[in-house]
Every structure is written in structure tokens, then in C-alpha cells.
């Protein structure tokens, strides 16, 4: 094996750990690393295409980090648009309540806008126009959903060689509801400083608007035109100095509306600066592009156009038609209830799990119908009890003799194979038939009466249950279902199904009518006294029994 092949193999093993769905992906190379984890390119054998898989490690170490991840995957599920990166799949964790890593599968993009600007000095005016058009089109869709991105920068704009751009990284995004004071609970430290709007630098205004994203898009567009950042401030004060050097001191009316007293005093005490004409700052740019850029970089947010208004600008005359650019349905409060209250680590874990189920329709259907699976390696005990008792009530109550439904999960122990003394193997149909008659097939052994000392034979307990028994079992099932409603009890009762199978047939003798019990007892005593050769105990047979799962032994898969 070649060294690079060994390396790829080790990446596969280390990357997916115990996640069963990892087998459908062939890891190719690591394309990014960060404090969150690692991103690898991979080939999806199910879809037959390349994807990017983002592994996020220890997401519940800090509740704030977990909340950010929840926010991002929820928004990317709700905001489906050609100019927004798409989540194609999220791998199903092996345990609902104990997972700590998640694997998010994105569509694979070749690079980001930061690398494009850095590596290409031959971009044309057509490139600039098409790039800005895509960014504003995506931003219109985001803003019509009442979402502010708040962290737009070249590294958060993915790019392909065909000039296709997609907005990504919604971890700092927020949903703005009409009745919510959006500025009070939001931190001002959002977006990389170089692309941060003035109102975010000094808490200038009482309410944030989508204009904060328009400013960031303006900074990105200016960087496309010059090949370098427009406002590379070293700190907040330096950032404001660079802004006012280009735009001039804001008007007294704008300064008077600033809520931060220190910011008001600082701007009022600044020496008077005249704005630099954009045609002088960007001498080779299209005049129509500079006209739109000047609007987007207005110091006062109320003077900036919306994304929809910007798309209607003459700069996009031959490219955009505002009426065909799609809008989103506003995000509902219910989707982002976790943003409006204090949440615990377990709250966020449950909501992230719910988001993962959106990419697993069958599991989601069970979840919405009220099933509460404790994990993906075994089914819910409550659901299994409901099915079995409903079946007993329907069939045995009408005199039926059909066996209850079997477990249908591949992760559980398989049906056993019985061997007799001559090493002949029974067919699976015979085995199933035997198991439906009795959960544990015991070897017939002589039983010695304590008083007479005469051996006698136990009769198999295969008497169909009576209506009274079925009603009793139904009540027992309801009681078990209620007990399993809590998490701790449900985890402890994962093994109870096998135990219940044994008890069902032991109850047959306990609740038989007195006449039947007396008749069976008399038959046993008579057989023991007369020593009939017909009912003599048979020689012991070796029987390989499936008892580990039923009794909850050390080899059980239920633990």
C-alpha cells in the first residue's frame, strides 16, 4: 500500500469514528481546519457526486457554541436558494442523548472569495458585476426571511471556477421579529472589524436594520475593485478614522441620532474631513458601479438601499429583473424559540437532534407520531409493548393462535439456530415456530415429588391465554408504557421486553381456571404413580437457545 493510501485510510477511520453512515462517503482530502473541527472533501457513493463534510467536535462543551451550530443548520434548512450554500445531509449519530460530534454534508465549492481576490488580478468589470449581482440576490432572499447575516466577509462567500458564489456561515445570524427590540440583546461585536458597519462599531443607533449587511457587501465589492480591504482598521477607533477619511464626517443630524454618548462626543470633536470622490479612490471602475457603491457605503443606515432596491439599480440593467428574484417566507417565532429564552445544554442537544432528523424522513415521521427512540441502535421499548399488546388483544381475544409480531431491527440479536444431539440443524421456519410457542425451550428433565419421591414429568406451558389474561396483560402494558415515559426509566427498561416474553407464558398457569389446573395436576400425579413408559423422560438433548437477549445476560445487545 502506498503511503498516501495509508494516510487516506487513517483519515477515514479517524474522521467518522462510530458513525454508521460514514460508509457511503469516501474521504479524499482535508480542505480546511479550525477551532470547530475539520472539513474534508469526499465522494458520496449514494448520490454519485463530490461533497464537503464538516466535522464539528465537542459541540456541547460550551452552550454558546452549540447554540451557534443549531442556529446555522436551522437557517440553512429554511433558506434554500441558489446563492446560499446548501446542506445536503447530516449524519445520524449513534446515540440520541450522548453524541458530541456532528457531521454536516455540504455541496462542495472549490474556493472562497478571499482566495479569488488574492489569486486573481485579471478580473474584469463583468466579473465584478456578476459577483455583486449574486451577493445582492442572495441577500434579498435572506432579508425577506427577516434574517440578518451579520458576518459577511470574503471568507464567508464560497466560489467556483465558473464564477458562482454562495453565501455561507450563518452562525452569527439573527432573526428579527417585528415585536422584538433587535439591538438590546445583540452583541455589537459581530462581523470581522474590517467589514463592520459604523453602527456596529460604536453602538450608534437604537435598532439594527438589514443595512448592516448592505454595508458589508459594499466593503466586499470595494475589495473586489482594488484587490485589498477598504477599511483595514487595527481597532475600533482606527476603523472609524478610516471610514471618515473616505466618507467625511457624518452630518450633525446623523450624529445627533447616535445613542452612544461617547461616540457622539468623539465624532463631534473630530477635525472636519471632506469626503474623497469615489472616482478618485477607484479610478478604473465603472461609474455606475461607483454610484451604487457610494449608496451602499452611506454612513447613516437609513441612507443605504435595501437589497431589492440595489438590484433595481441601473448598474444591473441588462442582468437583473427584480420581479423574478425570489423572496423567502418570513421565519416563524416557533422555529427560533431558543433565541428568546435561556437554554441548557440538554435543550440544545435535543433541538440539534430534531434538526438532524429533518434529513432522515423515516426517523422524523416516527418522532412526529409520538415515538421516542432512545437511540439508533435499538427501538423504543414503549412502542414495542404497544404493538405486542394491541396484537394480543385483537387476535387472542378472538381465539387466534398467531404469534405476536417479531422484532424487525437488524441491530438486535438474530433468530437462533437449534441443534439436536445428532448435530442436525433446524430450518429457520421451524426455529421461528418453536420460538413463537415458547420463548425458552427447556430440556425435559425428571421432576421428583417431594412427598412420594416418585419422578414425574412437567407438561409444556402452551395453553392459549384467556380473555381475562389478555385484559390483565393490556393493563400491564399500559402501566409499563407510563413508566417508560421518563428518560431514566426508559433506559432501565430496555431489557424488559425479553423478560415480558417469559412472563406471558408463566402467567398461563397462574390464571388458568381451577378445573383446568386440577385436571393437569391429576394427570401429572397419575403419570408419576403409574410410571407410564409413554411419558418417561427423554434423554437430555443439547439445545442452543437464544436466551441472552431474552434474559438480559452479558451477551445482550440491549445494554
Q: What size, in residues, is the chain? A: 559
- State percent of the chain over pLDDT 90: 38
**147 vs 335, more confident:** 147
Task: List the binding residues for ATP.
Answer: 55
Burial 127-164 (b: 16+ CB within 10 A, else e): ebbbbbbbbbbbbbbbbbbbbbbbbbbbebbbbeeeee
For residue 174, the cross-strand partners are 148
Per-residue pLDDT tens for 476-496? 655 555 555 444 444 444 445
Per-residue pLDDT, 184? 37
Per-residue pLDDT, 502? 52
- Calculate the CA 525 to chain-centre distance: 64
Going by pLDDT thresholds of 50, 70 and 90, the confidence category of residue 501 is: low
Going by pLDDT thresholds of 50, 70 and 90, the confidence category of residue 136 is: very high
Eight-class DSSP state of 186: S
For 5, the grid coordinates are 493510501
Mean pLDDT of 446-468: 51
Please name the CATH architecture into which domain 111-330 falls: Orthogonal Bundle (1.10)
Eight-class DSSP state of 511: T
Task: List the binding residues.
Answer: 55
Mean pLDDT of 309-338: 87
Domain ranges of the chain: 1-108+332-370, 111-330, 373-551
Per-residue pLDDT, 164? 96
List, in sequence order, the alpha helices (H) in 25-120.
Answer: 63-78, 113-119
**Mean predicted lDDT score pLDDT of the chain:** 74
**Is the pLDDT confidence value at 541 over 90?**
no
Strands, E assignment, 424-519 = 447-448, 455-456
Mean pLDDT of 375-389: 49
Verify whether residue 151 is a known catalytic residue: yes
Return the CATH class of domain 1-108+332-370.
alpha beta
Going by pLDDT thresholds of 50, 70 and 90, the confidence category of residue 248 is: very high
Per-residue pLDDT tens for 73-100? 999 999 999 999 999 999 999 888 889 8
Identify which of 247, 253, 260 has the alpha carbon closest to the alpha carbon of residue 296: 247
For 240, the grid coordinates are 472609524
Residues 6 or more apart whose Cβ sits within 8 Å of residue 462: 437, 438, 505
Per-residue pLDDT, 514? 53
Catalytic option among 83, 112, 151, 300: 151
Going by pLDDT thresholds of 50, 70 and 90, the confidence category of residue 122 is: confident
Per-residue pLDDT tens for 95-116? 888 898 999 999 999 999 999 9
Per-residue pLDDT, 369? 78
Between strands 174-175 and 165-167, the pairing is unpaired
Residue 187: how many other CB atoms lie within 10 Å:
8
Per-residue pLDDT, 424? 44
Per-residue pLDDT, 135? 97
For 215, the grid coordinates are 454595508
What sign does the dihedral 493-496-497-498 (CA atoms) show?
A: positive
What sign does the dihedral 281-287-293-299 (CA atoms) show?
A: positive
Q: Residues 179-182: contacts with CB within 8 Å, 24+ apart?
A: 180/340, 181/207, 182/148, 182/207, 182/208
- Residue 514 phi/psi, 5° resolution? -60, -35
Per-residue pLDDT, 425? 46
Taking the C-alpha atoms of residue 119 and residue 379, their distance in angstroms, rounded to an integer, is 53
Mean pLDDT of 161-178: 89
Going by pLDDT thresholds of 50, 70 and 90, the confidence category of residue 545 is: very low
List, in sequence order, the alpha helices (H) in 24-162.
Answer: 63-78, 113-119, 125-144
For 451, the grid coordinates are 412427598
Per-residue pLDDT, 296? 98
Q: What pTM, to 2 d.p., does this model score?
A: 0.64
For residue 50, the cross-strand partners are 43
Per-residue pLDDT, 402? 54
Amino acid at each position: 500500500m502506498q503511503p498516501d493510501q495509508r494516510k487516506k485510510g487513517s483519515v477515514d477511520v479517524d474522521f467518522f469514528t462510530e458513525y454508521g453512515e460514514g460508509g457511503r462517503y469516501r474521504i479524499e482530502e482535508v480542505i480546511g481546519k479550525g477551532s470547530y473541527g475539520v472539513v474534508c472533501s469526499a465522494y458520496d457513493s449514494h448520490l454519485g457526486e463530490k461533497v464537503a463534510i464538516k466535522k464539528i467536535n465537542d459541540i456541547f462543551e460550551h452552550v454558546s457554541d452549540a447554540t451557534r451550530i443549531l442556529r446555522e443548520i436551522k437557517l440553512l434548512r429554511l433558506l434554500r436558494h441558489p446563492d446560499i450554500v446548501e446542506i445536503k445531509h447530516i449524519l445520524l449519530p449513534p446515540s440520541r442523548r450522548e453524541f458530541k460530534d456532528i457531521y454536516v454534508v455540504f455541496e462542495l465549492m472549490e474556493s472562497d472569495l478571499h482566495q479569488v481576490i488574492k489569486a486573481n488580478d485579471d478580473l474584469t468589470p463583468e466579473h465584478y458585476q456578476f459577483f455583486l449581482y449574486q451577493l445582492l440576490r442572495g441577500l434579498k432572499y435572506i432579508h425577506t426571511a427577516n434574517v440578518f447575516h451579520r458576518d459577511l466577509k470574503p471568507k464567508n462567500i464560497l466560489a467556483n471556477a465558473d464564477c458562482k458564489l454562495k453565501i455561507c456561515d450563518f452562525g452569527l445570524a439573527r432573526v428579527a421579529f417585528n415585536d422584538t427590540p433587535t439591538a438590546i440583546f445583540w452583541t455589537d461585536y459581530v462581523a470581522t472589524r474590517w467589514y463592520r458597519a459604523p453602527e456596529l462599531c460604536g453602538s450608534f443607533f437604537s435598532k439594527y436594520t438589514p443595512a448592516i449587511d448592505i454595508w458589508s457587501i459594499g466593503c466586499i465589492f470595494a475589495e473586489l475593485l482594488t484587490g485589498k480591504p477598504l477599511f483595514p482598521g487595527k481597532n475600533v477607533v482606527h476603523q472609524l478614522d478610516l471610514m471618515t477619511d473616505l466618507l467625511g464626517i457624518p452630518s450633525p443630524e446623523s450624529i445627533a441620532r447616535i445613542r452612544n454618548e461617547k461616540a457622539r462626543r468623539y465624532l463631534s470633536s473630530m477635525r472636519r474631513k471632506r469626503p474623497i470622490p469615489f472616482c478618485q479612490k477607484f479610478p478604473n471602475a465603472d461609474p455606475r458601479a461607483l454610484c451604487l457603491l457610494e449608496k451602499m457605503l452611506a454612513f447613516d443606515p437609513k441612507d443605504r438601499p435595501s437589497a431589492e432596491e440595489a438590484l433595481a439599480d441601473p448598474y444591473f440593467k441588462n442582468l437583473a429583473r427584480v420581479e423574478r428574484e425570489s423572496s423567502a417566507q418570513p421565519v416563524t417565532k416557533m422555529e427560533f424559540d431558543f433565541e428568546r429564552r435561556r437554554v441548557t445544554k440538554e435543550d440544545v442537544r435535543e433541538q440539534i437532534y430534531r434538526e438532524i432528523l429533518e434529513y432522515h424522513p423515516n426517523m422524523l415521521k416516527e418522532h412526529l407520531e409520538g415515538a421516542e427512540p432512545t437511540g439508533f441502535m435499538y427501538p423504543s421499548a414503549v412502542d414495542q409493548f404497544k404493538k405486542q399488546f394491541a396484537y394480543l388483544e385483537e387476535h387472542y381475544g378472538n381465539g387466534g393462535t398467531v404469534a405476536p409480531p417479531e422484532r424487525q431491527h437488524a441491530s438486535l440479536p438474530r433468530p437462533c439456530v437449534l441443534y439436536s444431539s445428532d448435530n442436525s440443524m433446524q430450518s429457520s421456519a421451524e426455529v421461528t415456530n418453536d420460538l413463537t410457542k415458547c420463548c425458552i425451550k427447556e430440556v425435559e428433565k425428571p421432576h421428583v415429588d417431594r412427598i412420594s419421591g416418585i419422578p414425574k414429568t412437567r407438561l409444556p406451558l402452551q395453553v392459549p391465554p384467556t380473555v381475562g389474561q389478555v385484559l390483565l396483560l393490556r393493563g400491564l402494558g399500559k402501566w409499563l408504557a407510563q413508566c417508560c415515559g421518563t428518560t431514566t426509566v426508559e433506559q432501565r427498561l430496555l431489557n424488559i421486553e425479553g423478560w415480558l416474553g417469559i412472563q406471558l407464558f408463566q402467567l398461563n398457569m397462574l390464571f388458568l381456571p381451577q378445573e383446568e389446573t386440577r385436571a393437569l395436576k391429576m394427570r401429572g400425579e397419575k403419570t408419576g404413580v403409574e410410571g407410564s413408559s409413554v411419558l418417561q423422560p427423554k434423554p437430555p438433548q443439547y439445545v442452543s437457545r437464544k436466551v441472552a437477549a431474552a434474559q438480559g445476560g452479558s451477551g445482550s445487545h440491549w445494554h
